Amino acid sequence: MYYVPHEKLDIKWTSKDSFVLSLPWVSMEIDVAEEDKDWIKDATEHLQKFASNQNVQKFIKELKDYPVFYIQPRSMKEFEGKDLQACPEIDVDCSTPHRFVESFGCEIEDNLRKDILPAWTWDREKILSKARIPNTDLYDPISFVTYLICYRLEWENTTWSGQDGFGQFMERLLKKDEDKFFQVIGWISRQSWYVTTESCQAMEPALTHFEKGRDWINHFIHDEAGHYKFMEQVFEDIELNKEDFPVEDGTKWLLAAHKKTAMISPLTFSAMINLFEAAYYEGQDPISRVIKLSSKPHAARGFDLHYKINQEHRHCDMPVNLATCLAPQTYTHALLTLSLFELTLNFLDKMEEQLAKDYEVT
């Protein structure tokens, strides 16, 4: 496969021995060993204009654990002779968000309907163009998923939560009212408890409807089983009852929508796992970091253990692993995926913002 650096990937040398790699969603300072300077210098000079450069490919491959690239669409010939999952027929109207919700056929709470977008805002043609297979009207699933993951991160960087609005709110709340802070931790833990309780069941239909990805899906289900216990540990440590906190409508939608995609669209099902898992793992869990500033730092254990397993098992790679099992995708399935991503991410963003308004201490 051929790596394409994301168009916003920027490299600035800070000295002859190190450089800063930056994107809207990640920044890293990287030291360079003496024996690697020549080829890395060459790679950074050709990064955007000559991605086919051998050193550029080597450079990106060294960074493949991070979302800084996407995969160039393969030719139709590269799919030949492979036992891949074909696209099923679907009938979903993606012309507007409201028509999408009605035709998608997934249960949605009445209270959540007020947060349905009035119109789509994402640059669909830009995303699709990155994955279109040359001389066809089909899309490479690996190209599509890898670019969509980056696009999500870029979009989130423009939102309140993506600009660390939620993290800053949590730190302010901790300083002003620790009791309320732990109430918010309880709310977060309740959403995570629901997701980790329901996710395996939501994925099970894919074992039937996504036959070519069955081994990966089976592995993932077994890896996720029992993760709700981590959140139960958090409730025990903060001495609160999970039943005192609601499961929000946006959280219910997230799980119901994933179960629906498990039945109708292997592409959308694969991509949507990115909404449950961090795009990459680095450092520590952000919620854990804030809890450790409180009077109950031990309450971070549940988040730390969950994060550690996801990190060590590279759950962030699962959408791409599943995409390797897919045949070229139709416009209908690609559009379904984009629509569900944009709608669901907006639901989740508004949910967090509302929580901050409810608990903010001035």
**Domains, the chain, with CATH or none:** 3-71 (no CATH), 141-359 (1.20.910.10)
What average pLDDT does the segment 276-283 reach? 76
Gap between the Cα atoms of 104 and 94, Å rounded: 9
Q: How far apart are CA 65 and CA 61, in angstroms?
A: 8
Please give the Cα distance from 127 to 54 (Å, whole number).
26
Q: What average pLDDT does range 345-355 have in this prediction?
A: 92
Question: For position 163, what pLDDT does the model report?
Answer: 64
In this predicted model, what pLDDT tens digit does every residue of 116-125 receive, in sequence order?
999 999 999 9
Q: Which of 84-93, 166-175, 328-337 has the lowest mean pLDDT?
A: 166-175
Contact in structure between 256 and 264 (CB atoms under 8 Å): no
Q: What is the DSSP letter of 107?
A: -
Location of structure tokens 């308004």: 357
Residue 161 has pLDDT above 80, yes or no: no
Least confident of 99-103, 111-115, 350-354: 350-354
Question: Other C-beta atoms within 10 Å of 307: how many?
Answer: 20
- In degrees and rounded to multiples of 5, residue 190 shows phi and psi of -65, -40
**Rounded CA separation 103/294 (Å):** 46
The neighbour count for residue 176, using CB atoms within 10 Å, is: 12
Name, in order, each residue with C-beta under 8 angstroms of 273's C-beta and a sequence gap of 6 or more. 220, 315, 318, 319, 322
Angle between helices 301-312 and 178-203 (to 10 degrees): 40
Mean pLDDT of the chain: 94
Angle at 141 between CA 136 and CA 142, to 5 degrees: 120
Per DSSP, the residues of 224-284 read HTTTHHHHHHHHHHHT--GGGSPPPHHHHHHHHHHHHHHHH-HHHHHHHGGGTS-SS--SS
